[in-house]
């Protein structure tokens, strides 16, 4: 079992930066690929970024590539999402998620993730 809790969301202006954190409980955090997803009331849950369990592989959606950076600190059971040059289209609730099985590849598909946090709101305005 893995329990996840996000923090770091907020209201910012266009071009600002934010760093989201996701702290995991349980002793398998460091053995699971992790991902960030986001959702608005108008859209289905959207893939943002994913990272392998050891942190050597990272995949980003085209919408955020070059602006967002995913990272993790397994010693702290924490996943991060550094978001730069934020745009109104980035406004959403951001969720972190842990893969269903241990030591397997990261995935951009939300269906491959079993454990989810409660989400943190990011609002970008002009």
Residue 92 predicted with pLDDT over 90: yes
Burial class (CB in 10 A: 0-12, 13-18, 19+), 45: middle
Query: What is the per-residue pLDDT across 12-71, written as a single tens digit (0 to 9) for each?
Result: 999 999 999 999 998 899 999 999 999 999 989 999 999 999 999 999 999 999 999 999
């Amino acid at each position: 079992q893995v329990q996840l809790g996000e923090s770091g969301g907020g209201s910012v202006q266009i071009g600002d930066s934010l760093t989201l954190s996701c702290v995991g409980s349980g002793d398998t955090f460091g053995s699971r690929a992790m991902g960030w997803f986001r959702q608005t009331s108008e859209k289905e849950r959207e893939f943002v970024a994913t990272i392998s369990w050891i942190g050597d592989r990272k995949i980003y959606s085209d919408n955020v590539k070059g602006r967002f950076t995913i990272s993790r600190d397994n010693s702290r059971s924490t996943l991060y999402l550094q978001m730069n040059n934020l745009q109104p289209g980035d406004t959403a609730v951001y969720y972190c998620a842990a893969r269903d099985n241990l030591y397997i590849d990261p995935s951009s598909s939300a269906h491959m993730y079993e454990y989810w946090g409660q989400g943190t709101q990011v609002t970008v305005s002009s």
